[in-house]
Chains A and B, each alone.
Chain A
Amino acid sequence: MSKTVLIVDDSTSLRQVVSMTLKSQGFDVVEGCDGKDALTKLDGRKISLIVSDLNMPNMDGLTFVREVKKMAAYKFVPIIMLTTESDEKLKSEGQAAGLKAWMVKPFKPEQMIAAVTKLVA
């Protein structure tokens, strides 16, 4: 049974690119257009990993991560922050919020696959 990855980004094209990369490796994907929308996708379904953007409308990535960590069913799901930001202070905030990895856009497919495979193993 294939594993499901939740992709959260306000850019449709970016979600498509991540989705395509992961689908080519046999993952199923669920998409959310911002943090608030993504929380509605955490409705009991099994999620193996979350890939989230940082700067989004309605609810930003860090707030979303903190909300996920409050949910008993999903608090142990590994989360990768995928963002154009590479600021060390923000990375530290992400780490404190419970992130497992920080990936700077634009990402390389093999890098994304390696990170996802490592974290869902």
Chain B
Amino acid sequence: MKKHNKNASKGRDLLPMVLIASSLGILVLSTIIESSVWPFVLGAAASLCCVLAIHEFGKKKNLALQAEVQALLSSVGDSGKTDHQEAELLQLAEMWVPTLNSQLSTANSQMELGIVNLAEAFSEIHSKLNDTVSVASNAANVLGNTSAGNGLADHVAQSLNGMLSSIRNSFDEKATIMQEVKGFISSTDELAKMAASVENLAARTNLLALNAAIEAARAGEDGRGFSIVADEVRKFSMLSAETGMKIRERVQLIASAAKKAGEGAARMETSDEKVLSQASETLSGVVEQFEQVTVPLQQASEQIIANTNQVSSSLNNAVVHFQFQDRVSQILGHVQESLGQMKGQLNAGLGALNVGSLMHELERKYTMAEERVNHSGKAGAKAVAKPKTSNDELTFF
């Protein structure tokens, strides 16, 4: 279109020149051809050519002015467009970037707050689970290890058996004493016999003393002294007989009491055996019933401990997954900083925009492999948080 206009313009430029040249030629011819009508005709033709030439000059000037005006108008239009773009960029820097930054900041802080609250809640649950494990462990320890056979029921059985054993020992001691009493009873029989012998000896001594007194009386005066001795012997024998009789009575009383005690002891011995047997049976029953309660309780405690430990471990691992927030927060932070940098550049005008600098600064702040993968842009790279190899995770110096 522009080329076409240029050619037309050239044509317009030549026409007045040709017309002027033509009018000059006509005037020259009119000078040569004198004294005829032709000079008038030719002069008129020359004048017409000049008029046409002037018209063409004016037309050309007009077109040139129009072109200038068009160019000016176009220039004015371009200038308006640039101003509009700059205004848009300023708005981008002053409104869009800060808005995005605010949104990122809010999202980041809300995520952090949420994760903190979740972690606190999980931590509390974890703590309570640990308390539960502690309580269950204590209960299990009290109830004892059923498989090892040293549970509470066994302790109770041992204690009761110990008590039963003490009672049995006590009964055995009592039986020994009863044996002593029986021995004593047999001794009282002997004592009674001895007392009877004493009585018998006293009676015979008395009879002997009586005979001696008779013989002393028969001897007359010579037997007087002997008669006195015989009387004294008789008195002693009578006293001995009384003492023997008292001993026998006392011994009989004692023997009677001892016999009753022996009979009572024998009855008690039978009763004690029966009591011990019943106590032993009762004890076995109680221990068995106790075990029926404690063994399931102990097994339940062990199950609670195992389950709680498992839940606690799972919870611990789950909480550790909250670490994603730290990584996301860092990525968002780097994006925010870069947006801020871009805003600063835009504030200084479009000419200050330096994408290379933005990219360099962004890369400099990366802390994670994923960010660097994303930055590389290789094959539309979009990094995901991949599990690291174990060698990368921990290094000791």
Query: Which residues in B have their C-beta under 8 angstroms from that of A12?
Result: 112, 116
Q: Are B126 and A102 in touch, CB under 8 angstroms? A: no
Among A54, A85, A118, the one with the most B-chain Cβ atoms within 10 Å of its Cβ is: A85
Q: Are B396 and A100 in touch, CB under 8 angstroms? A: yes
Judge whether B221 is part of the interface by a CB distance below 8 angstroms: no
Contact residues of B: prevailing secondary structure: helix
A9 CA / B369 CA spacing, docked (Å): 20
Task: Count contacts on B: residues with CB < 8 A to the other chain.
Answer: 34
Q: Are B388 and A104 in touch, CB under 8 angstroms? A: yes
Judge whether A77 is part of the interface by a CB distance below 8 angstroms: no
A39 CA / B325 CA spacing, docked (Å): 25
B70, chain A: closest CB distance, angstroms: 60
B residues 139-193 near A (Cβ < 8 Å) are: none
Q: Are B112 and A109 in touch, CB under 8 angstroms? A: no
Judge whether A44 is part of the interface by a CB distance below 8 angstroms: no
B392 touches which of A19, A54, A100, A104 (Cβ 8 Å): A104
Judge whether A107 is part of the interface by a CB distance below 8 angstroms: yes
Query: Which residues in B have their C-beta under 8 angstroms from that of A91?
Result: 395
Judge whether B324 is part of the interface by a CB distance below 8 angstroms: yes
A24 touches which of B130, B326, B330, B394 (Cβ 8 Å): B130
Q: Are B397 and A17 in touch, CB under 8 angstroms? A: no
Q: Are A84 and B392 in touch, CB under 8 angstroms? A: no
Query: Which residues in A have their C-beta under 8 angstroms from that of B368?
Result: 84-85
B residues 346-397 near A (Cβ < 8 Å) are: 367-369, 388, 392-397
A54 CA / B330 CA spacing, docked (Å): 12
Q: Are B393 and A17 in touch, CB under 8 angstroms? A: no
Residue of A nearest to B129 (CB): A24
A95 CA / B397 CA spacing, docked (Å): 6
The number of inter-chain residue pairs (CB within 8 angstroms) is: 99
Q: Are B394 and A115 in touch, CB under 8 angstroms? A: yes
Residue of A nearest to B330 (CB): A84
Q: Are B394 and A13 in touch, CB under 8 angstroms? A: no
A residues 16-52 near B (Cβ < 8 Å) are: 16-17, 19-21, 23-24
Among A23, A100, A104, the one with the most B-chain Cβ atoms within 10 Å of its Cβ is: A104
Judge whether B323 is part of the interface by a CB distance below 8 angstroms: yes
Judge whether A108 is part of the interface by a CB distance below 8 angstroms: yes
A54 CA / B201 CA spacing, docked (Å): 122
Closest 5 CB pairs of A and B: A106-B323, A13-B115, A16-B119, A102-B395, A95-B397
Extra contacts, 10 of them, besides A55-B330, A109-B317 (Cβ < 8 A), are A13-B326, A16-B123, A16-B322, A20-B122, A55-B367, A95-B397, A101-B394, A103-B393, A109-B316, A115-B394
On A, residues with C-beta under 8 Å from B are 9, 11-14, 16-17, 19-21, 23-24, 54-55, 83-86, 91, 94-95, 99-109, 111, 115, 118
11 A/B residue pairs, CB under 8 Å, sorted by A: A12-B112, A16-B116, A16-B319, A24-B312, A84-B326, A91-B395, A94-B397, A100-B397, A103-B395, A115-B394, A115-B396
